[in-house]
Amino acid sequence: MTETRRLQLHLGKCIEDLDKLYNVPDLKTKRATLLCKTAQKLFEKAEEERDRGDEENSYVYYMKYLRVVAFISKDKEYLKDKTYFNNMLGAKNPNKAIDAAEKLKNSLIDRYEKEQKEKRLHDIKENELIKQKIDENRKKALESIPVYEQPQPLGLPGLDEVTIKSEQLYSILKSGKLKVMILDARPGDDYLESHINYPACISIPKECMSPGQSANALEQNLPAASKLVWGERATMELIVMLDWNSTAVIPGETLHLLKTILLKWDVKVHYARPPLALYGGYEDWLLKYPAFTTNPHAVPPSQDSMLDDMLGEIDYPNWSDLNPSPPPVQTTPPRPAKPGEPVIDRSSKVAAVQLYEERARNMQLILEEQERIADTSLTLEMQRIEAEQDWEKVREQREQEPRDELRAQYRLREHEILSQLMQLENKQFDMEQENQSLREQLEEYQKREREEAEKLVEALRKATDADTQAVEAAARRSAVEAAARELAARRARIADVRAQHRQLDRRREALEQQRKRKLADARRAAKPQVHTQHCQLDRRREALEQQRKCKLADARRAAKPQDDDGDTFMEPVEDSSENQGLNRSQSSPNIAKGWGEEEVPTFDRGTKPSKLAPVNDEPQRDFQPVWGDVGRGLTGLKNLGNTCYMNSIIQCLNNTAILVTYFCNKQYLEHVNRSHSTRGAIAEELAAVVRALWSGQYRFIAIKDLRNEVGKHQRAFRGNEQQDSHEFLTILMDWLHLDLQFSIKPPQKESLGAAERAWHEYTRCKESLVLRLFYGQMRSTVRCVRCGERSATYDSFSNLSLELPAAAARCTLQDCLNLYLNGETIPGWNCPKCKEKRDAVKKLDISRLPPVLVIHFKRFYVDPKEYMSNTYRKKQTYIDFPLENLDMSQFSLHCPGNPMYNLYAVSNHYGSMEGGHYTAYCKSSVYGKWYKYDDHVVTEIPATEVKSSAAYILFYTSCGRS
């Protein structure tokens, strides 16, 4: 019997599209007899469509039929006379429909997959000529780039250098063998006064540049004389930037801003090499080659700006600093009083006046501090509005630009500006909280001042005679009036700043309304074919990407065994007697060598493994790297669509020293557990990511393979929705522990205490490096209030999840720990001694401290006002936590090891549940500095910025064993 010819697919592109079509209307009002007739018609229609060869319609009708049958089977009439209704339906029809629907479903799934493959192959063939043209253009561009493997005779710096000395630049300019452009980034007036006497030296005024600016926007603001030379920048073999006296390209400064504009936001130009900064700036050139300038008598800029920068780095004064102890006052003994005359100590008058003057100075300091914070807050508000306007411009440009590469650039920039906007809002919130704290201190101070003033007036009234009282009262009134005028002026200044704040708020609201109106108008005016073009471009890009992957896989399979596979790893630590702790022994893994049962591993965060050559036995991974010579461990992670929560946690783990060594030296391969549900794949993918991040050769990478592997085992992490970084961390820790398990020799339980016995019962002689690093133990003790009977249980934890004090704008980490560990009353506890239900007190204590202590703050909570809708809100509480020397001894029992911890990473959350963003602050053990990991952007930050109200998860490392 020949197979019926199958009609072409027409209802959908996947089986899920058909699942949306077989819903049936509400059947509750229909009688069972009518429903049986309807079901019979659906069955006949399904059979007819199958015979006709339309598998899609047949599958939909079969599923509708089964839905109706399922509803009939629950009907009261059917239950009374099943035989009658089964005869109406047909005794064998339901089973036949189930078998037919299952076969059709499998057939359709295969056909959909085959059609998708054929479509991709068709698109690949259709775009082959375009791809070849692109490859040819790229090849020509790469061939035109000069390769500088060794320092050239002209004195050109190596590719890893970011500066060029005046002697080298002079030699290059004198030889004339290279096309050089000099970009003078000083203020325009300074350039006109004096600059390097070279035709291609142009002015890029400092005042014309701003963060987030594109090269095209910068060109519009350049002087007319500079635009002509600027347009030839693509043909230059060397570009040199200079300011007055910089010796490095520092983030946040003018040269770094100009370099960012050239390399990141000049999408139409491919530079032969990154621009170099002139070491020492124009000041060094003027000193060494005055004859090669237009004016050798130029005057350096004033030092006012430098003084302002120094003043800006002054830390806020502590309250204790504002109340110094007054110096001792020399007193004279009181003269003897006449009989019946009260004794008066006139020395108290001097002390009281001095105290009043001291308090007046303290109040003035507080007002000055409050005024400074108001100015800073106003600046942040203005920066926030500028960022919003910048974001709006970029968004409009992205929507108007159909080309793939530029759209991707604009999308990336839009993401950066949104992240910057959230962080500015958070900083402004922190400043407002600090200002509120100072305001409360000032009110408290003024209250005490009034009380002291009343006491002072009373003391002076009793201590002075009529003449001196008048003189001193006049002086006092004069001082009070002067202080009042000063206070009034400062309060007026603060009020003015607040008024400007309100104006900026109104301006931002107006801009937001205008932006929404423009967006709505643009969407209404958009033509349908624009969406079609976008879809076509997306399909074309996916086809090209699939073709690239196939070619790359074929090339790698054809490579010789000794060829590199593209991954870069770390050199293993030399095999010596001092580094045998991670080798396998004959009986069991030797990770625990040198660690007692009560001990924890020690590691030096000051050391990191260095690079080693890649090997070729690794599976190929699609990191989509963007190349760039950055520091080890300073590689960013691309946002794959709301994956900032994952990027933040991975960067924090990537700065855990012993875990990095374990992955980079591939010692984890000895412990990969294939029997777990993840088959060790999570650990292997994370290890590959860590090695790539520590290669130092990528600006940023994409972790698509790790994300896909995680999504296989946890549906929530599969899509593009924002997720909770704490939830991801907790699940990841459990996966890694199970992926890297090894067996240990069971201990003698008779010799163990209760805590150790509970620990070994939990591990069941299955441990891992992740368990020994991150997992601790908590003891829960319940005590009967009546008889004092106690019952203790033990639980493990990979992080401490702490509640925040209710209605507190500011608190400390110690407050949160006390709230977590304090006892709570439990009613109705079954006391084993009293044999009755009693009130009891439950108390938590840490019985085992891990080497890496992870602390999570519960910032998200269900709004009580919207409990039924399950609406979550976020607490913006500012938490003061120590960067060094966190003492956990007061919060734990007598645990082995050193209870002192140092902070090395923070996972931050900005925004709200509706729209948020995650970043990470991590301290590099290689460079000893703090860095901000904002998805693909990694920048250095001062330690003073680590504490903020965005802190969500803290990572502390033990200072070492005592």
Note the pLDDT tens digit of each residue in 695-721. 988 999 999 999 999 998 888 888 788
Mean pLDDT, residues 212-228 taken together: 86
- Supply the pLDDT for residue 588: 34
- Supply the pLDDT for residue 724: 92
- Supply the pLDDT for residue 549: 64
- Supply the pLDDT for residue 650: 97
Q: Are 713 and 635 in contact (CB under 8 A)?
A: no
Token pair 């109106």 in the structure block, residue: 517
- Supply the pLDDT for residue 341: 46
Neighbouring C-beta atoms of residue 551, cutoff 10 Å: 11
In terms of Cα–Cα distance, which of 936, 937, 942 is closest to 923? 942
Mean pLDDT, residues 189-207 taken together: 92
Of residues 738 and 545, more confidently modeled: 738
What digits encode the pLDDT tens for the residues 593-605?
Answer: 333 333 444 444 4
- Supply the pLDDT for residue 905: 97
- Supply the pLDDT for residue 613: 36
What digits encode the pLDDT tens for the residues 832-872?
Answer: 999 899 999 999 999 999 999 999 999 988 776 665 556 77
Q: How far apart are CA 355 and CA 476, in angstroms?
A: 13
Least confident of 799-808, 882-891, 893-902: 893-902
What digits encode the pLDDT tens for the residues 781-797?
Answer: 999 999 988 999 999 99
Q: DSSP state, 613? A: -
In terms of Cα–Cα distance, which of 46, 31, 50, 40 is closest to 90? 40
Pairing of strands 611-612, 569-570: antiparallel
Provide the strand spans (E) within 170-227: 180-184, 201-203
H or E element that contains 542: helix 528-558
Q: Are 898 and 959 in contact (CB under 8 A)?
A: yes
Q: How confident is the model at residue 617 (pLDDT cuts 50, 70, 90)?
A: low
Mean pLDDT, residues 316-338 taken together: 44
Tokens for 833, please give them: 């001694």
Does the pLDDT at position 806 exceed 70?
yes
- Supply the pLDDT for residue 578: 35
Does the pLDDT at position 637 exceed 90?
yes
pTM over 0.95: no
- Supply the pLDDT for residue 150: 42
Q: What is the CA radius of gyration of the chain?
A: 37
Q: Buried b vs exposed e over 80-109: b needs ≥16 C-beta within 10 Å?
A: eeeeebbebbeeebbeebeebbeebbeebe
Mean pLDDT, residues 684-694 taken together: 95
Degrees, nearest 5: CA angle 88-94-100: 135
Does the pLDDT at position 288 exceed 80?
yes
Backbone angles phi, psi at 201, to 5 degrees: -95, 115
User: Which neighbouring-strand residues pair with 640?
Assistant: none
Of residues 350 and 296, more confidently modeled: 296
Q: Which long-range contacts (CB under 8 A, 24 or more apart) does 322-328 make?
A: 322/362, 322/365, 322/366, 323/362, 324/358, 326/351, 326/354, 326/355, 326/358
From the list 36, 208, 644, 784, the catalytic residue is 644
Q: How far apart are CA 140 and CA 93, in angstroms?
A: 68
- Supply the pLDDT for residue 779: 92
Q: How far apart are CA 212 and CA 336, in angstroms?
A: 79
What digits encode the pLDDT tens for the residues 527-584?
Answer: 444 445 545 555 665 666 666 666 656 655 554 444 333 333 333 333 333 333 333 3
Is 644 in the active site?
A: yes
User: Which neighbouring-strand residues pair with 202?
Assistant: 183
Q: Are 802 and 952 in contact (CB under 8 A)?
A: no
Tokens for 272, please give them: 């032969």
Q: How far apart are CA 519 and CA 711, in angstroms?
A: 34
- Supply the pLDDT for residue 470: 62
Mean pLDDT of all residues in the chain?
Answer: 78
Q: How far apart are CA 98 and CA 90, in angstroms?
A: 14
Q: How confident is the model at residue 359 (pLDDT cuts 50, 70, 90)?
A: low
Is 895 in the active site?
A: no
Neighbouring C-beta atoms of residue 245, cutoff 10 Å: 14
Mean pLDDT, residues 133-153 taken together: 57
Percentage, residues of the chain above pLDDT 90: 28
What digits encode the pLDDT tens for the residues 442-460?
Answer: 777 778 777 877 777 777 6
Does the pLDDT at position 342 exceed 80?
no
Percentage, residues of the chain above pLDDT 70: 73
Mean pLDDT, residues 484-496 taken together: 75
Least confident of 43-47, 201-205, 591-595, 654-658: 591-595
Least confident of 208-212, 361-365, 426-430, 751-755: 361-365
From the list 415, 726, 737, 917, the catalytic residue is 917
